[in-house]
Structure 1
Amino acid sequence: MKETVYPIKDSKVLAEVQDTLLNNFIFGRRNLTIFQLGKATLLRVSDVLSLQYRDVFDAKGRVKSYAYIHDQKTGKPNHLYLKPVKKDLRKYYQWLMDNHIQSQWLFPSSERDKHIDRVQFYRIMQKVGDLLGIDYLGTHTMRKTGAYRVYVQTNYDIGLVMNLLNHSSQSMTLKYLGLDRDATEKILNKIDFG
């Protein structure tokens, strides 16, 4: 798997990635929803892919306000706020119903009752990258992109991003975002050194 994965910082490129995920695959709605949910919750790809249907939808097919999971990597409990991705989840629910797809998994594989796995999603992201001529897409793109957007849109609230990513240091978070030098320079440019 590709080692250099960066967040998508350009909104136009982000829209192209989303459009390609949706329109260039048989399971495009599923692929886009994985990306959107990962971006909005900042979950690791393995946690997104292993979500169960009942984690997100109630018995009547309504999107829950929150989902509760334990991160696979850390074992820590994680409280997911789903409102930012509710519209995408509603469209996904309708797509599942229209295609008569029922599974315990939120993101079922096209194979028997299994969920899509990391390798499968990596291949999807690689195909998107190939189609768009982007060489930095991978399974962590959605998490990094979500973190980057939170960072920028909260006026560089690194503490919030650290918390959402469950990181233990600012330097780890800035490196994860590919911003260590950029962030430092932006802050220094705003300081009046007299």
Structure 2
Amino acid sequence: MKQTVLPIKDSNVLQEVKDTLLLNFKYGRRNFTIFQVGKATLLRVSEVLALRMADVYTADGRVKDNAFIHDKKTGKPNTLYLKPVTQDLEVYYRWLQDQGLHSEWLFPSTTHPDRHITEKQYYKIMHKTGELLSIGYLGTHTMRKTGAYRVYEQSGHNIGLVMKLLNHSSEAMTLAYLGLDQESRERILDNIDFG
């Protein structure tokens, strides 16, 4: 049976997930930073994990303003705005140095630093986080869906912006991706002045 992965809509639950990723795993700083980068860039997990140090940091370790990549699924060029996660990436860079983890990969495997962490391994981390918090809808796409949902909510429901960030071709696809169920639609409609 396929698991349904949903965005984290409640800010308190989001904080619990972030705290759990950071504090309940040996390599929590890496796990937390993956989540933060995925949430802020709205990349697919495969694209987040495939980021290289040179994509994100200058030669002297400063966080770049933007990362330039090609979308794996569509092949389209994609510019990632890194300012929302600059502080997390600065802390993460120092953590990598303290751990002695030197790799071309932004999120290296701790057992094989010549490779990046796998999607399967990150799925296990998210699944364990869900178990610890009794949340059944966490998965590797949680960070992308959560980021998209937060942009949608905080931009005044700018579906066009969210579609562009997700590289979707239809509003229907984006609305389904956001998990906008009947309850969410009704809550939005409650705030509309129909005159």
Please report the TM-score for the alignment, with normalisation by the length of structure 1: 0.95
**Residue type at the aligned position of 1:68:** F
CA contact (8 A) 1:38 1:48 kept: yes
Counterpart position of 1:8? 8
CA contact (8 A) 2:101 2:110 kept: no
CA contact (8 A) 2:42 2:144 kept: yes
CA contact (8 A) 1:171 1:180 kept: no
**Residue type at the aligned position of 1:149:** R
Across the aligned residues of Structure 1 and Structure 2, the Cα RMSD in angstroms comes to 1.5
Counterpart position of 2:115? 114
Counterpart position of 1:21? 21
CA contact (8 A) 1:7 1:148 kept: yes
* Alpha-carbon separation, structure 1, partners of 2:37 and 2:192: 37
**Residue type at the aligned position of 1:124:** I
**Residue type at the aligned position of 1:178:** G
* Alpha-carbon separation, structure 2, partners of 1:180 and 1:124: 27
Counterpart position of 2:168? 167
Counterpart position of 1:46? 46
| Structure 1 residue ranges, 4+ long, deviating more than 2 angstroms after superposition | 180-194
Q: Which 5+ residue runs of structure 1 have no aligned equivalent? A: none
Instruction: Give the fraction of aligned pairs with identical amino acids, expressed as a percent.
Output: 67
* Alpha-carbon separation, structure 1, partners of 2:2 and 2:127: 9
* Alpha-carbon separation, structure 2, partners of 1:115 and 1:173: 29
1:84-118 per-position Cα deviation (integer Å, ceiling 9, x unaligned)? 00000000001011111100000000222110011
CA contact (8 A) 1:2 1:138 kept: no
**Residue type at the aligned position of 2:11:** S
* Alpha-carbon separation, structure 1, partners of 2:183 and 2:176: 10
Counterpart position of 1:150? 151
Number of residue-to-residue matches in the alignment: 194
